[in-house]
Amino acid sequence: MKKLAVRTLAAVLLSVPALPALADVTLLNVSYDVMRDFYKDYNPAFQKHWKGKTGEAVTIQQSHGGSSKQAMSVVGGLQGDVITMNQAPDINILAERGALVPKDWSKRLANDSVPFTSSTVFLVRKGNPKGIRDWKDLAKPGVQVIVPNPKTSGNGRYSYLAAYGWALKQPGGNDASARAFVGKLFGNAPVLDTGGRAATTTFMQRQIGDVLITFENEAEMVAREFGRGTFEVVYPSLTVSAENPVAVVDKVVDKKGTRKQAEAYLAYLWSPEGQTIAAQNYLRPQDKQVAAKFSAQFPPIKAFRVVDVFGSWDKVMKTHFADGGVFDQIYLKK
């Protein structure tokens, strides 16, 4: 027994100096839940690209979870080299608390640091029995709408903003009419799941509701999971562009000395290879040529950017989703 222990100890001691040679650099990508599939495809592609260019092997670790929780973990000290989220507030918080990134982080990469987007669309049951074509149909009495809770889910927030933005752009639309509209829409929601995936489960597995409001790329996941014959995707006349911003976490990469690799990791998202992997995962690429190649799976849609209609994300959060905000008032009025 003693001999074994000594040997084990010797083996451990011997292997310690060998470790850094095995993996030159390790990057931690802090991401949100449903990006798992995309980065599973993207990471090996980047590793190959980086090895070919510099001869250096990069290990990439992934951390996934609810987006706001993930952002809070980084604020709390999780050593993420890069952060890849589904809305700007989750990266803004890194600038506000602890100055982990500069305030103008979004200006450092192309397209406001958004390599690809998705859009909020509708899923309806096969044959569209309730005849749902556009947002106005969701507020009709007798239509059950499944939508995740905007208070706890980025997906829910985009759904809410898409509905609100559509109502604003209708003839004679203003804040009062938009509020009334989202009020009616959420009045038709029998369940508010805490996340987008949970809402999908409610709609597909529990067979509750006539329409599910979710991201276009989530609809694709549903198709793979439940089969294409079980539902239809409806594209509303106007929707929101759900942006997936990314950023290098300056404080962490400067401490770890991984800035070069982390920046290259994010920049590669905009390469034709990165954009193609995004398109294969049903995320709309920014690259026009790649987008053209995949035009069959991305029907043209009219989508607005949140910052164009609502000003800034900061304002959106304060006016609409903070406690006592517009979303809360929908329920308090009753």
Partner 1 sequence: MNLIAKRYSVLPGFGLSLGYALFWLGLIVLLPFAALALTASTLGWTAFIEQVSAPRVLASLQLSFGAALIAAAVNALMGFLVAWVLVRYTFPGKRFVDALIDLPFALPTAVAGIALTTIYAPNGWLGRYLEPLGVKVAFTPLGIVVALIFVSLPFVVRTVQPVLEDLEKELEEAATCLGADRWQIFRRVIFPAVLPALLTGSAMAFARATGEFGSVIFIAGNIPLVSEIAPLIIISKLEQFDVAGATAVAVVMLALSFFVLFLINLLQWWTARRHGMK
On the CB side of 212, CA atoms within 13 Å amount to 30
Among 152, 271, 286, 319, which residue interacts with partner 1 (rule: CB under 8 A)? 152
Among 47, 62, 111, 194, which residue interacts with partner 1 (rule: CB under 8 A)? 194
Q: Is 317 a residue that touches partner 1 (CB under 8 A)?
A: yes
CB nearer partner 1, residue 43 or residue 153: 153
Among 155, 162, 321, 326, which residue interacts with partner 1 (rule: CB under 8 A)? 321
CB nearer partner 1, residue 115 or residue 150: 150
Among 118, 149, 159, 214, which residue interacts with partner 1 (rule: CB under 8 A)? 149
> Directed axis angle between helix 175-187 and helix 154-168, to 10°?
130
Q: Is 193 a residue that touches partner 1 (CB under 8 A)?
A: yes
Q: Is 78 a residue that touches partner 1 (CB under 8 A)?
A: no
Sign of the dihedral through C-alpha 73, 76, 78, 82? positive
Q: Is 213 strand, coil or helix? A: strand
Contact call for residues 98 and 251 (beta carbons, < 8 A): yes
Mask of contacts with partner 1, 207-246, x by CB under 8 A?
xx--------------------------------------
Among 3, 5, 172, 323, which residue interacts with partner 1 (rule: CB under 8 A)? 323
How far apart are the C-alpha atoms of 97 and 233, rounded to whole Å? Answer: 40
Task: Name residue, tokens 């562009």.
Answer: 241
CB nearer partner 1, residue 99 or residue 110: 99
Among 45, 57, 72, 233, which residue interacts with partner 1 (rule: CB under 8 A)? 72
CB nearer partner 1, residue 205 or residue 237: 205
Contact call for residues 68 and 151 (beta carbons, < 8 A): no
From the CB of 273, what's the least distance to partner 1, in Å?
A: 34
Task: Name residue, tokens 């597995």.
Answer: 205
CB nearer partner 1, residue 195 or residue 285: 195
From the CB of 193, what's the least distance to partner 1, in Å?
A: 7
From the CB of 192, what's the least distance to partner 1, in Å?
A: 4
Q: Which amino acid is at 241?
A: S
From the CB of 190, what's the least distance to partner 1, in Å?
A: 6
Give, in degrees to the nearest 5, the angle at Cα 302 between 34 and 103: 55
How far apart are the C-alpha atoms of 287 and 201, rounded to whole Å? Answer: 33
- Tell me phi and psi for residue 172, to 5 degrees: 75, 10
Q: Is 68 a residue that touches partner 1 (CB under 8 A)?
A: yes
Q: Is 332 a residue that touches partner 1 (CB under 8 A)?
A: yes
Both structure tokens of 7? 């040997």
How far apart are the C-alpha atoms of 3 and 283, rounded to whole Å? Answer: 57
Report the relative pairing of strands 25-31 and 82-84 from DSSP bridges.
parallel
Q: Which residues bind partner 1 (CB under 8 A)?
A: 66, 68-69, 71-72, 93, 97, 149, 151-152, 189-194, 198, 201, 205-208, 317, 321-324, 328, 331-332, 334
